[in-house]
Structure 1
Amino acid sequence: MNREKRMNRRSFIKRLVAGIGGLMLFTGLDAFFIERHLLRRRDIEVPLADMPDVFEGFRIAHFSDVHIGHGFTASDLESLVERINEAKPDMIAFTGDLVDDGMEELAATTEALARLHAPYGKYAVLGNHDVRGKAQPEQIIEAYQKAGFMPLVNQHVTICHEDAEASFTLAGLDDNWRHPDWETTFEKRHGDGLVIALIHEPDLADRAKEYGVSLQLSGHSHGGQVRLPFVGGLLYPPYGCKYPDGLQKVEDSSMLVHTSRGIGTTILPIRFLCPPEWYILTLRKK
């Protein structure tokens, strides 16, 4: 009888080990081959108290963290470009990390991004991977311009409604690892109305709230890139921990920050329970 129990115990342990091994294998295959290619669109409504009435329903396509060269190529952008154009947003905002180690694909990436269209324009900022390592930020800024994007590097523009005398400010900060100039970006603007900021690192929202920003669009965190049930993201980068995912209210303010999980990957070309996403943000009068 004891011998039979020992045999049953060994059989159970073998099945358990085989099951865990199979689960780990499936998880690895899913993370590398499947999920990181499952690009999905998410629609979010953003309530803003200081938004001019005529911008009710204004739609912004927000995407981030393409990371060309890290398991993601310029040709992989084609599907995203098609889907954004099909959504017909009013404006397009890209919040940084265009390249990872793929500077040699910058020309092809520029051609793909040039096919994006929006009546109120296309805007972009730099991310930390755009200003460090092999990246050449001035070339990336030039690529934005060739693709029809306005690079916002410590500057702001006024977005005027085409049918009414109403506007809001769109501001973009240089990356936190380069030369962010908060005063030039925010303090020298005209008026005190709605301010939307493009800032790569989401946790900088705690400072942006001091400059009258109502909505910040960010990336950087990748949503953790690998997430577990009941745990969430396993690893967030510096300045991407406090507001790592989705639409959140900034601490001690009425300001909102929207953080994109991004399109590409970094460190390892994997995603688990955290598929790549792009967003249509619809502005609503609060």
Structure 2
Amino acid sequence: MLRLILFILILLILDFYTFQAFKVTFKSQIVTYIFTFLSLVVLGNFFYQIFTFDRSNGIQFQFSLALILLVLFYVPKIFIAVTLLGEDIFRFFSYGLENDVRTSIEGGTTLGGRRKFISQIALGLAALPFASILYGVFRGKYNYKVLKYTLHFDDLPKAFDGYKLTQISDIHSGSFDNVEKVKYAVDLINEQQSDVILFTGDIVNNRAEELVPYKDVFGKLKAKDGMYSVLGNHDYGDYVAWESEEVKKQNLEDLKVLQKDIGFDVLLNESRYLEKEGERIALVGVENWGAGGFKTAGDLKKASSVIDKDDFKILMSHDPSHWEKKVIQDDYHYHLTLSGHTHGMQFGIEIPGWFKWSPVKWRYKYWAGIYEELGQYINVNRGFGYLAFPGRVGIWPEITVIELKKGSDNA
């Protein structure tokens, strides 16, 4: 309840500053009041959808629309509020509270003119995220990016020097609304001509039937050394009120069959060897293991029970919190872990090679891209699809290509 009150308070503060910006900038009060009315409608609709939302029925269009409108209306207001708050702080220290009040009473124009100028700047700044969000909803969710990395390992078997793998994650097929865009992405994956394709979970939102319209599309994925997958938290159907436990179990079995029909070897706390020229690397796949209330079906010991401790190992584990909490401290030393789950929150700012930020960093320490700890690497894929918010702003859908190289990267 405290979080809800704080959330509402923040929204009201944003509305307060936005109202000021509109009132000062526009001569006609009609514009100000129309915008304020629309904001209240958006806010009211959002809370209505929140309080009537039944997750067991999946994410409905009405909820997604309410979320789009909330983000579209209120994220830009953050820019307005921060700008005007900065002006208020400046006014306080520059003029003093007493002088500020006196100027207002006497009808001085200096402060008013400056306020209008600052308000115009604030509205101009707000237009940037507004346009970005619109782009993210209509185009960004299919703005696929191929991100390429080269990782060096001294103990990589020589035969695998230059070995390429493609990772995809978080397809969430139940969210798609454009099959042609998905076909384009599948072609893009195949164009990488990687030796193996690895999928790290959440192929659906809730139900196996979501994958059926895209079965043939993903069935066109090809890799000479095969395709492997693991389950993510959404694949188990835990967020649906099923008729019975048997129906829920059957849904999971149907999902496994569909993945196999596509061509994936589904690893359920299991391992496989990838072999080349008489040498091999171990591919380990665990079921979902997540911190903070997510399913913990992953069993790392069981999955690695038939491989050797000294093998070069690639681990597929949907949730990066597994790597943080369990994997990097394991004495088996997993050279490379592949995860997804975070989506990069589908919202953030990235300048490749320079800067990346998303609010999801406050929830996950490892949330997007390559990280190294204790001589082990993880790649957290930003996701292929999208969930809840039907768009991506600054954090684009990702196809990861990783090339393994033997030796030091300084060689």
1:67-118 CA distance string (max 9 Å, x none): 1122455554211210111221100001111111564331222211211111
3-state DSSP class of the match of 2:210? helix
Match for residue 387 of structure 2?
266
Q: Is the 8 A contact 2:183 2:217 kept in 1?
A: yes
3-state DSSP class of the match of 1:80? helix
Name the % identity: 26
1:64 positional shift: 0.7
Match for residue 108 of structure 1?
213
The match for 1:157 among 269, 272, 277 is 272
Aligned length: 280
1:4 positional shift: 4.7
Distance, in Å, in 2 between the alignment partners of 1:73 and 1:99 is: 16
3-state DSSP class of the match of 1:188? coil
3-state DSSP class of the match of 1:203? helix
How do 1:201-220 residues align onto structure 2 when only pairs under 5 Å count? 201-206=319-324, 207-209=326-328, 210=330, 211-220=332-341
Distance, in Å, in 1 between the alignment partners of 2:202 and 2:260 is: 16
Instruction: Decide whether aligned partners of structure 1 residues 165 and 231 sit closer, same or farther in structure 2, where only a CA change above 3 A counts.
Output: closer
1:8 positional shift: 2.6
Higher strand fraction (1 or 2)? 1
1:184 positional shift: 1.2
Match for residue 305 of structure 2?
187
1:138 positional shift: 2.2
Q: Is 1:233 the counterpart of 2:348 in the alignment? A: no
Instruction: Decide whether aligned partners of structure 1 residues 166 and 10 sit closer, same or farther in structure 2, where only a CA change above 3 A counts.
Output: closer
Instruction: Decide whether aligned partners of structure 1 residues 268 and 237 sit closer, same or farther in structure 2, where only a CA change above 3 A counts.
Output: farther
Higher helix fraction (1 or 2)? 2
How do 1:51-90 residues align onto structure 2 when only pairs under 5 Å count? 51-72=156-177, 75-90=180-195
Instruction: Decide whether aligned partners of structure 1 residues 61 and 237 sit closer, same or farther in structure 2, where only a CA change above 3 A counts.
Output: farther
1:151 positional shift: 0.3
109-118 or 98-107: bigger deviation: 98-107
Q: Is 1:18 the counterpart of 2:18 in the alignment? A: no
Q: How does the TM-score come out when normalised to structure 2?
A: 0.63
How do 1:25-40 residues align onto structure 2 when only pairs under 5 Å count? 25-40=130-145
Q: Is the 8 A contact 1:127 1:175 kept in 2?
A: yes
Q: Which runs of 4+ in 1 moved over 6 A?
A: none
Match for residue 233 of structure 2?
128
- Whichever residue aligns with residue 278 of structure 1, its letter is I
1:225 positional shift: 1.9
150-159 or 205-214: bigger deviation: 205-214
Choose between structure 1 and 2 for higher RCO, CA contacts under 8 A separated by at least 6 residues. Answer: 1
Match for residue 403 of structure 2?
282
Distance, in Å, in 2 between the alignment partners of 1:154 and 1:196 is: 13
Larger radius of gyration: 2
Distance, in Å, in 2 between the alignment partners of 1:43 and 1:95 is: 17
> CA RMSD, aligned part only?
2.4
Match for residue 32 of structure 2?
none
Q: Is the 8 A contact 2:174 2:211 kept in 1?
A: no
Match for residue 199 of structure 1?
317
- Whichever residue aligns with residue 174 of structure 1, its letter is E
Distance, in Å, in 2 between the alignment partners of 1:243 and 1:202 is: 6
1:203 positional shift: 2.4
Runs of 5+ unmatched residues, structure 1: none
Distance, in Å, in 2 between the alignment partners of 1:228 and 1:276 is: 14
